[in-house]
Structure 1
Amino acid sequence: MKPSDPEFQEFAEAANLPLLRTARLLTGDWHLGQDLLQVTLTKVYLRWSQADRWDSPTGYARTVMVNTYCTWHRRRWRHELPRERLPDRAGERDTADTVATTDALARALADLPRRQRAAVVLRYYDDLSVEQAARALQCPPGTVMSLTFRALARLRQSADLHDTAVEGR
């Protein structure tokens, strides 16, 4: 029995938010993350007739996403993003430290090579096992461990993260 378009729509709706979060972390930008998700879902849809051969449609989509991300040669927009409405004031509680930490982490992740960044996002954000991340990255588990080790070493050396940690004390 082959999957149908309604089944794809159901899959896309269920997997949308988790895949979007992963895409956002991979790209470091919400809008590029949305673009990456759309490209991923398009590629998955084009192969949807083969979905009965996949262990997991979400796992397959994650693999497509990581491969697409690692091969993207697209310029990143590094300027202001227009907003529909400007906020009048900050929220009730001061979130400056949280925003600073999130921003520092995003900058540090952006400095990692793409495969290292993908390994960190899959292992620590998506909470995948080494084997699951290896399937998504299409490499041996030892390579995932090596990529993750190197990425974490670089993150530990990141001046952005170090400065944020010192300021937060």
Structure 2
Amino acid sequence: MTKRIVVLGVSGSGKSLIGKSIADTLGYPFFDGDDFHSQANVDKMRQGTPLNDDDRKGWLATLNAILTDNPSAVIACSGLKPEYRAMLRNGLDDVTMIYLKGSIDTIWQRHQKRDGHYFNGREMLESQFATLVEPTEDEALVIDISQNADAVLKEALTLLANSPTH
């Protein structure tokens, strides 16, 4: 089983919850990509302004460095575009990506239950869906998040155990 795992999806898809649960189960360190945004990025998102490619470059390079420096790790990161996912994998051939796939309605319902997160508003979520180029099954393990978190975790662990690197 790969030891470098990136859990992908739009904000509210469960990346942090599932990523942390995978890391805890496997005994790997967990890194929430949200914790590594620059203050300027956080301020921008708090104001409801979507990040652009330039905003994300340094952030993605930081996450790639974390993967490079940790022979086993789980990172939660939106990874909305193929080029972002390529930046995460840069120089590494043993990264498995798990894409948490859900509808905007399912994810918006979850967003409305969150407290204190800087990601601000339905427009921001809609902008993530507009930016999203869903990973193919050749690029990532794809899991439908309409099921509960325990079922998503169980499916993720099963897919990881039975899968070559993605």
Both structures adopt the same fold (TM-score exceeding 0.5): no
If each structure's strand is expressed as a fraction of its own residues, which one has the higher value? Answer: 2
TM-score, length of structure 1 as denominator length:
0.29
If each structure's helix is expressed as a fraction of its own residues, which one has the higher value?
1
Higher relative contact order (CA 8 A, sep 6+): 2
Q: TM-score, normalised by structure 2?
A: 0.29
Max Rg structure: 1
